[in-house]
């Protein structure tokens, strides 16, 4: 495999699966965590390595080191592996997805932004979802046509926090995810419920089902539910651990235990809650966005800028959703007709959001 984002949480779990099932890692692509990358190189001995910049590349003792965005794309072109695991964070992951497909490779996709921003221009037959929710939907479908798809959300760090305390919450509070261990960006997105809005768009593009929704299940034991036309509803359950969806994305068929099965007596009970727009303001555009999914590029670009400002201390937590909602209104006519237009709209939205004061 070619692994993009090897030092992140998905990347580390992917290498655990590679280690367990003896899967050859032909290329490792990472950002700035050079010390962990060195350990990965020593263990997996990839043919190609790619890092964020030239300075980091020069710090590695490896015969084939590339760097930057072009280095990622060149790594995909050079490597012979049939599968690319795209665990990059953010819009940076879109070009690698498009390039991998153009090279005839299958993409095991953990990069939400690829489909959120450009789902209209990416054929899902080349994709295998790594997200636990989309894996759960795939696991349940079994060739049948769904009436309604439902994914679950943990509710994020502010699920049980009094509403009046959320708007001015600090970064360290937003990073206290109750169930999952993830990177900064996706953990903040979980706190705003932005990640779940993105996942609804992904589900729409992946499975061609327009009737999609999300509910909060605080224990993250149920990941997805499907309602069928006969009135039956099925649910996919597993303890919160990304190794199961990763293993299936890489191998498609698993006949040995990857996780311990869910012990319902240990779980005891399950609770379900609606996603409230009062707690998660971004939810106000859910229906409109699902009806106009190509506007995902606007939401993604605005969110990346907003989260960046929040992490830097330049925007309060409540300002993230506010900036995204204002950008969504400002760019209401966004309707990309090609991948090139997706990149042009992304650039325009980012410029507007950088100048906008909240």
276's CB contacts (< 8 A; 6+ apart) are 283
What is the pLDDT, as a whole number, of residue 258?
93
| 109: three-class secondary structure by DSSP | strand
Q: Walk along the chain (358 residues) and give the pLDDT tens digit of each residue.
A: 999 999 999 999 999 999 999 999 999 999 999 999 999 999 999 999 999 999 999 999 999 999 999 999 999 999 999 999 999 999 999 999 999 999 999 999 999 999 999 999 999 999 999 999 999 999 999 888 999 999 999 999 999 999 999 999 999 999 988 776 778 999 999 999 999 999 999 999 999 999 999 999 999 999 999 999 999 999 999 999 999 999 999 999 999 999 999 999 999 999 999 999 999 999 999 999 999 999 999 999 999 999 999 999 999 999 999 999 999 999 999 999 999 999 999 999 999 999 998 8
| 265: three-class secondary structure by DSSP | helix
From CA 122, how far away is CA 296, in angstroms rounded? 14
What is the pLDDT, as a whole number, of residue 200?
98
Pick from 217, 215, 221: nearest CA to 263: 221
Instruction: For residue 273, list its beta bridge partners.
Output: 216
CB contact at 8 A, 195 and 299: no
From CA 189, how far away is CA 148, in angstroms rounded? 24
From CA 179, how far away is CA 221, in angstroms rounded? 10
Please state which of the four CATH numbers 3.40.50.2300, 3.90.580.10, 3.40.50.720, 1.10.1740.10 is assigned to the domain occupying 2-129.
3.40.50.720
From CA 131, how far away is CA 109, in angstroms rounded? 8
Write the pLDDT tens digit of every residue in 220-265.
Answer: 999 999 999 999 999 999 999 999 999 999 999 999 999 999 999 9
From CA 179, how far away is CA 344, in angstroms rounded? 37
Q: What are phi and psi of 304, to 5 degrees?
A: -60, -40
| Secondary-structure breakdown of the chain: helix, strand, coil percentages, each rounded to the nearest 5 | 50, 15, 35
Pick from 164, 198, 166, 209: nearest CA to 283: 198
Spell out the domain ranges in the chain: 2-129, 132-278, 292-358
Query: Element (H or E) spanning 256, and its range?
Result: none
The beta strands (E) that lie in 172-318 are given as 212-216, 222-228, 233-237
Beta pairing class for 146-153 and 222-228: antiparallel
Structure token digits, residue 101: 């497909």
The beta strands (E) that lie in the chain are given as 2-4, 27-29, 48-51, 65-67, 83-86, 106-109, 127-129, 146-153, 212-216, 222-228, 233-237
- Indicate the burial class of 213 (C-beta count within 10 angstroms; 0-12, 13-18, 19 or more): middle
Residue 289 CA: distances (Å) to CA of 101, 251, 332: 26, 33, 10
Q: What is the pTM of this model?
A: 0.93
What is the pLDDT, as a whole number, of residue 179?
74
What is the pLDDT, as a whole number, of residue 357?
87
């Amino acid at each position: 495999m070619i692994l993009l984002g090897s030092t992140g949480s998905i990347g580390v779990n992917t290498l655990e699966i590679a280690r367990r099932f003896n899967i050859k890692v032909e290329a490792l692509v990472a950002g700035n965590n050079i010390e962990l990358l060195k350990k990965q190189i020593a263990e997996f001995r990839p043919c190609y390595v790619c890092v964020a910049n030239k300075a980091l590349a020069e710090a590695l003792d490896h015969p084939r080191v590339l760097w930057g965005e072009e280095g990622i794309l060149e790594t995909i072109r050079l490597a012979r592996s049939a599968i690319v695991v795209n665990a990059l964070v953010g819009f940076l992951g879109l070009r690698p997805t498009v390039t991998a497909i153009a090279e005839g490779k299958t993409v095991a996709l953990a990069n939400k932004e690829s489909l959120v921003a450009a789902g209209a221009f990416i054929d899902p037959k080349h994709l295998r979802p790594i997200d636990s929710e989309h894996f759960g939907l795939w696991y349940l479908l079994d060739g049948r046509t769904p009436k309604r798809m439902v994914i679950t959300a943990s509710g994020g760090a502010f699920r049980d926090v009094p509403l009046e305390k959320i708007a001015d919450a600090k970064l360290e509070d937003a990073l206290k995810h109750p169930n999952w261990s993830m990177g900064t960006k996706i953990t903040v997105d979980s706190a705003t419920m932005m990640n779940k809005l993105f996942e609804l768009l992904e589900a729409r593009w992946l499975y061609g089902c327009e009737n999609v929704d999300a509910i909060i299940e605080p224990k993250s034991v149920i990941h997805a539910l499907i309602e069928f036309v006969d009135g039956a509803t099925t649910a996919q359950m597993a303890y919160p651990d990304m190794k199961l969806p990763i293993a299936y994305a890489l191998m498609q068929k698993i006949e040995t235990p990857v996780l311990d099965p869910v012990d319902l007596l240990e779980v005891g009970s399950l609770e379900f809650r609606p996603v409230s727009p009062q707690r998660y303001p971004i939810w106000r555009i859910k229906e409109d966005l699902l009806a106009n999914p190509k506007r995902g590029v606007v939401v993604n670009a605005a969110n990346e800028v907003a989260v960046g400002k929040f992490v830097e201390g330049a925007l309060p937590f409540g300002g993230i959703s506010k900036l995204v909602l204002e950008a969504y209104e400002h760019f209401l006519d966004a309707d990309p007709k090609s991948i090139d237009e997706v990149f042009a709209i992304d650039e325009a939205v980012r410029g507007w959001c950088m100048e906008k004061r909240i």
